[in-house]
Amino acid sequence: MRAREAGIILGTLPPGTTNSIADVAGVRVGHTTLIRGNGALVRGVGPVRTGVTAILPHDDDLFRLKVPAAASVFNGFGKTIGLVQLAELGQLETPILLTNTLNVGRVADALVAFMVERNPAIGVTTGTVNPVVCECNDGFLNDIGGRHVGEQEVRAALTVAPGTPVLEGNVGAGTGMTTYCFAGGIGTASRCLSPAQGGYTLGALVQSNFGRCGDLIIGGVPVGRELEEQRQKRVAQHVGQEPGREQGSIIVVLATDAPLDARQLGRLARRVPLGLARTGTSGGHGSGDLAIAFSTADRIPHDAGPLVRSVQVLNEQNPAIDGLFAAVVETTEEAVINALCTAHSMDGRDNHWAQALSLVETLAILKRYGRIQ
Find out whether 56 and 62 touch, Cβ atoms under 8 Å.
Answer: yes
* 77 three-state secondary structure: coil
CA angle 86, 272, 178 (to 5 degrees): 100
Catalytic residue selected from 20, 72, 287, 295: 287
Phi, psi values for residue 247, rounded to 5° = -130, 165
Which candidate in 23, 249, 257, 295 is catalytic?
249
Q: CA-CA distance, 19 to 17, in Å (whole number)?
A: 6
> Is 23 among the catalytic positions?
no
User: Does the annotation count 289 as an active-site position?
Assistant: yes
Q: What are phi and psi of 309, to 5 degrees?
A: -135, 130
Chain centre to alpha carbon of residue 249:
10
16 vs 36: CA distance, rounded Å = 35
HSE value, Cβ hemisphere, 13 Å, CA-based, for 38? 5
If you ran DSSP here, which 8-state letter would residue 319 be given?
A: T
Give me the torsion for CA of 274, 275, 278, 284, rounded to 10°.
-70
Crossing angle of helices 359-368 and 223-231, rounded to 10°: 110
Whole-angstrom Cα Rg for the chain: 20
Helix, strand or coil, per DSSP, at residue 98: strand
β-partners of residue 69 are 294
The catalytically annotated residue of 20, 289, 295, 298 is 289
Contact between residue 209 and residue 178 where contact means Cβ atoms under 8 Å apart: yes
Q: Where are the alpha helices (DSSP H) in the chain?
A: 83-89, 104-118, 151-158, 223-231, 234-238, 262-269, 272-278, 320-342, 359-368
Q: Is the peptide bond before 68 cis (omega within 30 degrees of 0)?
A: no
List, by residue number, the catalytic residues.
249, 287, 289
